[in-house]
Structure 1
Amino acid sequence: MVGFKSLAAAIAIIPLVFSHPGENVEAMKAEMIKRNEQHAAATRSLSQCQDSPQASALKARSAARRAAKVTELRQKRGITTRSLSHQKRDLTALESWTLQSHNMSSEAYTLDTPEATIFGSNNTCALVPETTIGPYYVTGESIRSNITEGQAGVPMHIELQFVDMNTCEPIPEIFADVWHCNATGVYSGIDTSEGEGGLNSTFLRGVQSSDEEGVAAFDSLFPGHYDSRITHFHLVVQTNVTLQENSTYTGGKTLHVGQVYFEDALVEAVEATTPYNTNTIEFTTWEVDGWMLEEATNDYDPFVEYVQLSDNLDDGLLAWITVAIDLSSDHSTNLTAAAHYYSTGGVAVSGSSKGLPPSNPNAS
């Protein structure tokens, strides 16, 4: 997998990346400038509260929670080795954030290492909305924490912690709606004519409400890759939703639409395992992933922190990221669903098999 030699080189190829038929390159460039301004504003807000006693206390509680979760997951999977992992990150420069390792399971760490040392990083991201939600958003997904549904792959427990970007306080009772492809690049909820899992499939999709610590956590699998995209998973954050009796939700105000990524070393290690290595879709590098390029700013680290539960990657990962939210935002107009899932099954959105606006058929 190849990293960027420089940010300038990455930006230089953006017109090539985005120049699909029907796409407005200039509009996307304008949106990127707007996003960068939002990043800067959010970063300034966070810098004013991130060292407060409340923020420090939250960080300490988060470290303790993550350490406890690792112990729980290891016990559940019968892992008895003392070392968390001996994997070390060895990358060529990918620019700013990719120069920083997000692998917290250094070979110098054991289960006796102080929890704050391993799990203390909040890796706070001033996330702002994507220019597109992507072609595979499905409404009506179940409120649940385990979204694996028997899919094969590297187990991943991922913790999303939401904080108010103006106060650095945790945000309870907001809803995180997540989805990603399986190990071989297939999405659930989308018609099989598109090569996906089918309208009535629901694997690797789910919704969780954040708790009093602002945490929404999922038991999932490490995502695979699909055509023209680097490894990632999708996230929509909603508030003021209406809960339904069938454990789903409707309505609400959209606070955030985004994507979360994983560093090269981890992706490369996972892609070498089964069933990821049976994926016949060509792997896409950073240079040709237009949406990741769009997020290349000096203020935004899009990568999760993580630890391996043992030396064996098949035993799984604990991953975490802290998402800074602007509670005054409303990005509901950014949502374009490919399908709606009802108690009677999935229904594709009319006008496009992927639910995409006709003027932007290649968004992903």
Structure 2
Amino acid sequence: MVFFKSLVAVMATISLVAAHPGDSVEAIKREMAMRNTQHAAATRSLSQCQNSAEALALKQRAAARRAAKVKELRAKRGLTTESLSHQKRDLTSLEYYTTVNHNESAALGYTLDTPEATIFGSNNTCALVPETTIGPYYVTGEYIRSNITEGQAGVPMHIELQFVDTNTCEPVSEVLADVWHCNSTGVYSGIDTSEGEGGLNSTFLRGVQASDEEGVASFDTLFPGHYDDRITHFHLVVQTNATLLPNDTYTGGTTLHVGQIYFEDALVEAVEATTPYNTNTIAFTTWEVDGWMLEEATTDYDPFVEYVQLSDNLEDGLLAWITVALDLSSNHSSNLTAAAHYYSTGGVAVSGSSKGLPPSNPNAS
């Protein structure tokens, strides 16, 4: 079930840029040294269980679930064509460390009669480790909900996050996946408009879901846009033992994971050519100069989602999926910093800096 593809080794002499504007280069370097150690440990654990009967059965169930979801999404959109567009990637060919143009695999056409295991069987696994720098746009108090679009325009994306135990490869249920990303023109909700963002009382493209018995938390959202100094990405925090509140938010808990998920060049470029992504006036940042993406690329894990287009027309939408391996003994709550807190009465910015620590009960009404 766990499937790793190799990435080209990072050049030792690469010059890092900040993860987000204002982040410390030295902090990034320290964090990446820690990542290398944790990646190696996670890989050893996963390799011992990836071919177990339980892990293989989980993979088969995942393929069936994704096939059913595609049919459901196509029906909702009234799609009647008999083809899907399936992007299969060869990550060993993404030599973005030494070239500007990446070697991308071509799209493979499939009919709806193609065996589901062929199309949906891949379970790329991110043995992602927590980041010391969470970035400046984390907001506490987001709603527990599966649809986070709130009328934002862009390419529809249903994303499935499947969580597995690093040590057993078994699904992890009842953890909270807290996600957020920018809109098609690079704007984040929950952040003051004085910083060029959507405003403290906005909540678009943010939400929380609990994983089910298969370890799955899913969201209906849009494909992210881009903003200053970062390649297209999707933020994820995973919490366990949190307390659900009457106002459909949560508080407390232990942070198992803080990470980012990425999308291959071919897909990003195709989406960026559509409206309204092509109206974004912020300069696009490539892999070569995105410090986080370069330093996260190791042979130990694959940070890219797998996906299918629901039709040959990209604007009809995507189903994307990725498996995230969790170390259930970890506790990275101290790594969380917030730019703002969203209460029942509205959003409140953290005083002084986007790196301020959240209060002990940030979601309380």
Structure 2 length-normalised TM = 0.90
2: CA distance, partners of 1:12 / 1:61: 43
Equivalent residues in 2 for 1:54-69, closer than 5 Å: 54-69=54-69
1:44 lines up with 2:44 in the alignment: yes
Distance 1:18 1:346, change over 3 A: closer
2: CA distance, partners of 1:90 / 1:55: 23
Mean Cα displacement is larger for which, 80-89 or 117-126?
A: 80-89
For residue 166 of structure 1, what is the amino acid of its counterpart? N
Equivalent residues in 2 for 1:193-342, closer than 5 Å: 193-342=194-343
Distance 1:328 1:83, change over 3 A: same
2: CA distance, partners of 1:219 / 1:21: 31
Distance 1:311 1:16, change over 3 A: closer
State the aligned residue count: 347
Once the two structures are TM-superposed, the CA of residue 106 in structure 1 deviates from its matched residue by 1.7
**1:154-205 deviations in whole A, cap 9, x for unaligned?**
0000000000010000000000000000000000000000000000000000
For residue 48 of structure 2, what is the amino acid of its counterpart? Q
**1:221-252 deviations in whole A, cap 9, x for unaligned?**
00000000000010000000011001100000
For residue 155 of structure 1, what is the amino acid of its counterpart? P
**Structure 2 counterpart of 1:115:** 116
For residue 203 of structure 2, what is the amino acid of its counterpart? T
**Structure 1 counterpart of 2:31:** 31
**Structure 2 counterpart of 1:360:** none
Distance 1:298 1:167, change over 3 A: same
Distance 1:91 1:293, change over 3 A: closer
SS at match of 1:14: coil
Once the two structures are TM-superposed, the CA of residue 23 in structure 1 deviates from its matched residue by 2.7
**Structure 2 counterpart of 1:94:** 94
**Structure 2 counterpart of 1:175:** 176
Distance 1:62 1:8, change over 3 A: closer
For residue 340 of structure 1, what is the amino acid of its counterpart? H
For residue 62 of structure 2, what is the amino acid of its counterpart? S
Distance 1:45 1:22, change over 3 A: closer
Query: Identity percentage over the alignment?
Result: 80
Distance 1:60 1:18, change over 3 A: closer
**1:287-329 deviations in whole A, cap 9, x for unaligned?**
1111112202111110000000000001000000000000000
For residue 305 of structure 1, what is the amino acid of its counterpart? E
SS at match of 2:167: coil
**1:118-163 deviations in whole A, cap 9, x for unaligned?**
0011111211112311100000000000000000000000000000
**Structure 1 counterpart of 2:363:** none
SS at match of 2:84: coil
Structure 1 length-normalised TM = 0.90
**Structure 2 counterpart of 1:361:** none
> Where does the alignment leave 5 or more consecutive residues of structure 2 unmatched?
1-6, 358-365
**Structure 2 counterpart of 1:106:** 108
Mean Cα displacement is larger for which, 156-165 or 13-22?
A: 13-22
Distance 1:92 1:34, change over 3 A: closer
1: CA distance, partners of 2:348 / 2:224: 25
2: CA distance, partners of 1:281 / 1:87: 27
Distance 1:15 1:278, change over 3 A: closer
Contact 1:163/1:171 (8 A) holds in 2: yes
Distance 1:90 1:15, change over 3 A: closer
Once the two structures are TM-superposed, the CA of residue 14 in structure 1 deviates from its matched residue by 2.6
Distance 1:295 1:70, change over 3 A: same
Distance 1:22 1:89, change over 3 A: closer
SS at match of 1:340: strand
Distance 1:100 1:60, change over 3 A: farther
SS at match of 1:118: helix
For residue 126 of structure 1, what is the amino acid of its counterpart? A
Once the two structures are TM-superposed, the CA of residue 355 in structure 1 deviates from its matched residue by 3.5
Contact 2:342/2:348 (8 A) holds in 1: yes
Contact 1:135/1:356 (8 A) holds in 2: no
Distance 1:19 1:219, change over 3 A: closer
Distance 1:301 1:100, change over 3 A: farther
Equivalent residues in 2 for 1:345-364, closer than 5 Å: 345-352=346-353, 354-355=354-355
1: CA distance, partners of 2:193 / 2:21: 24
2: CA distance, partners of 1:321 / 1:264: 17
**Structure 2 counterpart of 1:191:** 192
Contact 2:21/2:228 (8 A) holds in 1: no
Distance 1:42 1:87, change over 3 A: closer
**Structure 2 counterpart of 1:166:** 167
